[in-house]
Structure 1
Amino acid sequence: MALAEGVSGRIAYKVHSTGVITPGVEPDFASDPGASGGQILRRVSSTLALSKDTYQSNEIRGDRQIVDFRHGVKRVQGNVSGELSPLTYADFFEAAFRGTWSAAVTASESDFTSVAADNASSKFMFGGGNPVTKGFRVGMVMRFTNLSDADNNTKNYLILGFGGTQNREVTVYPAPDTMTADSSFSVASIGKSLVNPSSGFVSRKYAIEIWNQDVDVARLFTECRCGGFNAQLPASGIGTVDFDFMGRNMTMYEDSAAPFFSAPAVETTTGVVAAVNGLLRASGQTIAVITGLNIQMQLSPSADPVVGSNLVPEIFLGRANVSGQLTAFFENADLINDFVNESEIELLAYLTTTSAANTPALTFYMPRVKLGGADLQTQGEGGQSITLPYQALKSTAVEASTGIASTTLQICDTEVV
């Protein structure tokens, strides 16, 4: 008899037809989500499991023994962990945000008349129009085509800020080649962007299957809501992400009935992000001494039982609480003063998969952050580190005039189409 090995575990998922949970009733899995299709997920590990409330009899008996133990309400709880890569976890980010990925922004000389570039100031300067009104935002990645300076074409430019008349001066990273005004070009944001919305929240639920192929046993976890994520970005190494889930039930499939999902789409092939590539900015300045960053969004899911059913009636999600921690080498007093003075700063992480000019990339942008501490311990002989926990807050900037999204967290993924 074979024993299950970890390498044999295939994780696949599919969205249910509706995000609504019906108290006391489960969907017919044959049609919702249905066995056809699905998506195989790249992963490192998973802790998804079915749990039940249990009740032990408190009766005091003459034989001084326990004679009853009962099962109660069921819940699915756990996480799925993987290495952070563009596109791979787009569905789960969307579920955690309770929003929808926004389409790319496209424009040309008909919108902006002309465009020039200046290497010293790291800016593109449009001759007309308003890029913010068009839909460009801080934290997006844009690319030009058909420019007279070929080195400025098909290259990722991370938008850092807008200025000048009608926001026509766009500060970017990396700095473009200096270029005189060109009146024949196209420009577009790459991929899609996602924000914590202020209204129009979308509820989603997923069926997630773990199939151990060597023993031909599959566990299908159904009506799972995403309760948040934790992205870890070490100073040297591969970025990782954990997604928390809470669901209603699990069904087992064995032998010829396994797996449940037939012919799911193959895994994504995008590269993973590594800390040596990309950029990290705080308070509008590029920071070269950060030794670690993590970004957490917690929705505090809950699933309270009701009388007469062993299924929870709903999986409730709370506020989008975005927080995390920075660690940095002690270089100067800036970050400590930001904590002491309760200053609001911004954090922008640009995470790339290669060093190519048009590399697939992810950005995480928190426009309004307050530090909750500045722990600087004097110890050892090497570099001294500061630990800086932070709380992200909803931006109060006027989006229409600043190009800063009115949100707590914005993600841009160049590979989401």
Structure 2
Amino acid sequence: MSNAQGVKRKIVVAKETTFGTKATKTAGKIIPRTESTLNTVFDSFSSEEIRENMQRSPSIVGFEKVEGDLKGELAAGQWSAFFAAALRGSWTAAKDPILKKTTAGTGEKQGKILIIPETNHTTDSFTIEDIFADINLSRVYLGCRVSKISIDVQPNGIASVTATFLGQRGEESAVNYFTNSAEIAQSAKLAGINGQLLVNGVKAALITGFKLEIDLNASSEAVLGEKYAPDVFIGTVAVSGSFTMYLQDKSMIDAVRSGNGLSLALRMDASSDTGTDYVTFILPGIKATSVDIDDGAKNLIQTLNFDAFPAVYDSASTIADELKKATTLIIQDTLA
């Protein structure tokens, strides 16, 4: 009997039309990963009965759900469907770059724009197939909603992404569900070395790291007579994060104490070329909540933690009307 190997495993994903109903068989795209912790999770409960034979009745297997993370490296296009699900919105048609690499944006690619909309929020769900090709095992996870997305950008490495899912249920088979699946279109990987971070519209110096978290507070509740939840609930889109920088003055301490609103904008490019693919994250309004300073026989680093809130990024925008609306997060992706 063969043993399953990670290099023979692949993850295939497609958006569902109806929650908990398998997506179209030919719609699946292979998502490259660094790690997957997706699994079917079963609640169980045991009897509290006290018996003369000093033994316990068999446990009962109860509520079923899907939980876990899909971890990978940030690239334009690769994570766009999950970003749309997390922001509960839809990508626009391609627009000029919001953050320009050149002075006038000449020769740069256009990219679609995504915001958290004011109304008509989406509730996307996905069918995710976990294929173990060397042992002929397919695990299909149904009704998977994005619960959280975390992004970690460091100056000397590839930016990482973790998409956390909460799903309805799983199924197993010896035959793959999705057919003719190809890898999802993606750019070269994005890294902090090809990035720029702006604070209040001004390029920030000596930034040593940036983290962003989008949390939808997903939950599912058991019901009587059913083995799995009828739906997975997703709530308010809460955005928070942090960035680290060298300690040079008290400006970040003042930002926390004053409670004044700031804006953050991060663009990462696939290469140093002008016409390369890119992903941009813009937080029109943030409040600094704390600042922590480390210690050691080295240059000292301060960590600024923040929460994001709706604000208008560019009320006079000539790029897109989306930039004139109060929103918590704006994303632009050339391959979305």
Q: Is the 8 A contact 1:360 1:415 kept in 2?
A: yes
Classify the secondary structure of the residue corresponding to 1:66.
Answer: coil
Calculate the TM-score normalised by the size of structure 2: 0.93
Alignment partner for residue 389 of structure 1, among 285, 290, 305?
A: 305
**Gaps spanning 5+ residues in structure 1: where?**
106-139, 142-157, 160-171, 178-185
Distance 1:340 1:173 in 2: 33
Distance 1:199 1:265 in 2: 34
Q: Deviations over 1:17-63 (max 9, x none)?
A: 23xx4xxxx64xxxx42323311111111111111121100000001
Q: Is the 8 A contact 1:35 1:260 kept in 2?
A: yes
Amino acid at match of 1:393: F
Alignment partner for residue 92 of structure 1, among 82, 86, 91?
A: 82
Classify the secondary structure of the residue corresponding to 1:373.
Answer: strand
Match of residue 139 from structure 2: 219
Following superposition of structure 1 onto structure 2, how do residues 270-281 of structure 1 map, counting pairs within 5 Å? Answer: 270-281=187-198
Distance 1:269 1:396, change over 3 A: closer
Match of residue 14 from structure 1: 14
Following superposition of structure 1 onto structure 2, how do residues 176-325 of structure 1 map, counting pairs within 5 Å? Answer: 176=104, 190-254=110-174, 257=175, 259-325=176-242
Alignment partner for residue 175 of structure 1, among 103, 109, 131?
A: 103
Amino acid at match of 2:272: S
Distance 2:10 2:228 in 1: 27
Following superposition of structure 1 onto structure 2, how do residues 118-157 of structure 1 map, counting pairs within 5 Å? Answer: 141=97
Match of residue 243 from structure 2: 326
Q: Is the 8 A contact 1:304 1:312 kept in 2?
A: yes
Q: Is the 8 A contact 1:376 1:384 kept in 2?
A: yes
Distance 2:8 2:148 in 1: 27
Distance 1:372 1:405, change over 3 A: same
Q: Deviations over 1:236-267 (max 9, x none)?
A: 1000101111111111111xx2x211111234
Distance 1:34 1:54, change over 3 A: same
Number of residues of Structure 1 aligned to a counterpart in Structure 2: 332
Match of residue 284 from structure 2: 367
Distance 1:269 1:203, change over 3 A: closer
Calculate the TM-score normalised by the size of structure 1: 0.76
Distance 2:17 2:186 in 1: 27
Amino acid at match of 2:60: R
CA apart distance, 1:397: 6.6
Distance 1:364 1:269, change over 3 A: closer
Q: CA RMSD in A?
A: 2.1
Distance 1:412 1:35, change over 3 A: same
Distance 1:346 1:404, change over 3 A: farther
Match of residue 26 from structure 2: 36
CA apart distance, 1:188: 9.1
Distance 1:233 1:81 in 2: 14
Q: Is the 8 A contact 1:37 1:265 kept in 2?
A: no
Q: Is the 8 A contact 2:12 2:129 kept in 1?
A: yes
Alignment partner for residue 104 of structure 1, among 83, 94, 119?
A: 94
Q: Deviations over 1:140-183 (max 9, x none)?
A: 61xxxxxxxxxxxxxxxx54xxxxxxxxxxxx543359xxxxxx
Distance 2:303 2:119 in 1: 35
1:48 aligns with 2:74: no
- After TM superposition, the structure 1 stretch with the greater mean CA deviation from structure 2, 53-62 or 187-196, is 187-196
Amino acid at match of 2:306: Y
CA apart distance, 1:375: 1.1
Query: Considering only CA atoms, is the larger Rg found in Structure 1 or Structure 2?
Result: 1
Distance 2:306 2:212 in 1: 9
CA apart distance, 1:269: 4.2
Distance 1:188 1:267, change over 3 A: closer
Distance 1:409 1:388, change over 3 A: same
Distance 1:39 1:6 in 2: 18
Distance 1:364 1:283 in 2: 14
Q: Is the 8 A contact 2:109 2:277 kept in 1?
A: no
Q: Is the 8 A contact 2:32 2:183 kept in 1?
A: no
Amino acid at match of 1:382: K
Amino acid at match of 1:15: K
What percent of counterpart residues are identical? 28
